[in-house]
Amino acid sequence: MSAVIDSHGHVAGHHDHDHHHAPEGWRRWVFATNHKDIGTLYLLFAFTMLIFGGVLALLIRAELFQPGLQLVNPELFNQLTTMHGLIMVFGAIMPAFVGFANWMIPLQIGAPDMAFARMNNFSFWLMIPAAVMLGGSFFMPGGAPAAGWTLYAPLTMQMGPSMDAAIFALHILGASSIMGSINIVVTILNMRAPGMTLMKMPMFVWTWLITAYLLIAVMPVLAGAITMTLTDRHFGTTFFNPAGGGDPIMYQHIFWFFGHPEVYIMILPAFGIVSQVVPAFARKKLFGYASMVYATASIAILSFIVWAHHMYTTGMPVTGQLFFMYATMLISVPTGVKVFNWIATMWKGSMTFETPMLFAVGFIFVFTMGGFTGLILSMAPIDMQLQDGYYVVAHFHYVLVAGSLFAMFSGIYYWLPKWTGVMYAEGRGKLHFWWTLISFNVTFFPMHFLGLAGMPRRYADYPMQFADFNALASVGAFAFGLAQVYFFVMVILPCMRGQGEAAPQRPWEGAEGLEWEVASPAPFHTFEVPPKLNEDATKVIA
């Protein structure tokens, strides 16, 4: 029964539907096959990794608070930046969205569970050894990998044994992601309730369907790149070693062929969440549903042909630079369409601003700034100034933190009543929002200036002229980190403990969709019999 820690108070009236007794205690979680339990596990795992990656980030910011080395040596500094990136991307953001998918996709399409329940369990539990291995690499001889999260060759050749551990961990995480994606695709394509046609699916389901295809397409590419790194390191191959006829730049091509779609893997589900939340609180249907679907699909397709905009400074030929510049600029068109659609949804609505809506509007506002800096970076000539500098760091934190993370917060506040059966404290949610929004901008806005002024990224120490903005960013970072601890302790924990007002079945006046057709908290089993849906597949009529 949902995400409530205390599992004794099973929802009355649903006992009779439980053909087998729901497992209790540790068995419930280790042998979990219920999509809601697995979703909860994913979300808790992702939050743990968010805190781990966040602590690494704060160590980085503490070191950069002032010029000179105070806390860590440059080697450890590189380990921190590398691990921060790997953990946030593969440990926090991706699993968190899979957690949302597990919880919400069956509920939103009227399915009883995910298609492959045991594989679902396996793809979650695979992540634990991978995370332990990744985190444990700090204690291996030579410390954690320090080649940046992009793991560029030939620097990876100089890493200690922890590099192999990280490669193995990434392989496992990749396998877990692929299994999760296959599960999601099969669930969406085969298990929709009668009447839930593809073009009636909620946007969150659509964005995840497209994301899952992206994952299936590119995770093997990453696996290939890091396997080649592994064999270069140990088995005498020379894929990336020029001495044997290899090419270090080929690694970058392969990595970014994975890496750029990966960027959209981390943002498309966020688009989906925001597309659910904005209509709910504007009390108005999503504007341009069809064009949203097409825009998502075009972004996904375009994401495969823009990878080398990460590599303008490798010395690509003119034609290469121009092609990747044009293709990248083109992506801003469907992304713009999405922003316009959200605003058109808000237009002439009847809006209220509970925490989910605040985070959704915050997302639109701040994510768009990240979109603009992305457009600026896409221009190859300007990128000559900004590549591998703090402007890039600012840009991708604007799209990944203010983008993905804000959307996740929005989704958590939106669906938490459904997950736990308890309303979060609205005042605390609002405080969390403003605290997060302000400290986020204090942290990352000054980085634009640092980047324009030429401060390179991944630097343990920097010229004195950069000191003030760095100090400001560090102060902001600690405030931001603290806000997330507050969020967990003051918002999530009380809800999980069942403290607070009981949530009604549909806590949001304007919310539409099948997830609001089941009780709060969502019973352990839902839609065991395919529901009969109304015309636009948003309500159960029998």
Partner 1 sequence: MMNSTTKTIASGLLWAGAWVATAAHAVNDLPGGPAVRQLNMHPPATKIAAEQHSLHWMMMVICMLIFVAVFGVMFYSIWKHRKSVGHKPASFHESVKVEIAWTVVPLIIVVIMAIPATRTVVAQKDTSNADITIKATGYQWRWGYDYLKGEGDGISFISSLDNEQRVLSNTGAKGVTLDNYLLKVDNPLVVPVNKKIRIITTSSDVIHAFAVPSFGIKQDAIPGFVRDTWFKAEITGDFYGQCQELCGKEHAYMPIHVKVLSEADYSAWVKTQQTKKSAEAQPAQQVAQANTAK
- The set of catalytic residues is 84, 113, 149, 176-177, 260, 262, 264, 275, 309-310, 335, 338, 457
- The least distance separating partner 1 from the CB of residue 201, rounded to whole angstroms, comes to 16
SS3 35: helix
- The least distance separating partner 1 from the CB of residue 509, rounded to whole angstroms, comes to 9
Whether the CB-CB separation of 80 and 56 falls below 8 Å is answered with: yes
User: Six-digit token pair at 215?
Assistant: 């994952």
Whether the CB-CB separation of 359 and 432 falls below 8 Å is answered with: no
- Measured distance CA(518)–CA(372) in Å, rounded: 40
User: Six-digit token pair at 126?
Assistant: 């695979």
Residue 350 DSSP symbol = -
- The least distance separating partner 1 from the CB of residue 376, rounded to whole angstroms, comes to 5
- Measured distance CA(221)–CA(241) in Å, rounded: 19
- Measured distance CA(288)–CA(295) in Å, rounded: 10
Whether the CB-CB separation of 363 and 407 falls below 8 Å is answered with: yes
- Measured distance CA(374)–CA(325) in Å, rounded: 11
- The least distance separating partner 1 from the CB of residue 405, rounded to whole angstroms, comes to 20
CB-CB neighbours of 73 under 10 Å: 11
Task: Using the minimum distance from each CB to partner 1, give the nearer residue, 125 or 445.
Answer: 445
Backbone φ and ψ of 422, nearest 5°: -130, 140
Whether the CB-CB separation of 259 and 295 falls below 8 Å is answered with: no
- Measured distance CA(186)–CA(191) in Å, rounded: 8
Task: Using the minimum distance from each CB to partner 1, give the nearer residue, 99 or 476.
Answer: 476
- The least distance separating partner 1 from the CB of residue 469, rounded to whole angstroms, comes to 7
Task: Using the minimum distance from each CB to partner 1, give the nearer residue, 464 or 542.
Answer: 464
- Measured distance CA(142)–CA(147) in Å, rounded: 13
Task: Using the minimum distance from each CB to partner 1, give the nearer residue, 220 or 288.
Answer: 288
Please state whether the peptide bond connecting residue 356 to the residue before it is cis, i.e. omega within 30 degrees of 0. Answer: no
Task: Using the minimum distance from each CB to partner 1, give the nearer residue, 140 or 339.
Answer: 339
- The least distance separating partner 1 from the CB of residue 3, rounded to whole angstroms, comes to 25
Task: Using the minimum distance from each CB to partner 1, give the nearer residue, 43 or 146.
Answer: 146
Backbone φ and ψ of 533, nearest 5°: -110, 155
Helix (H) or strand (E) holding 283: none
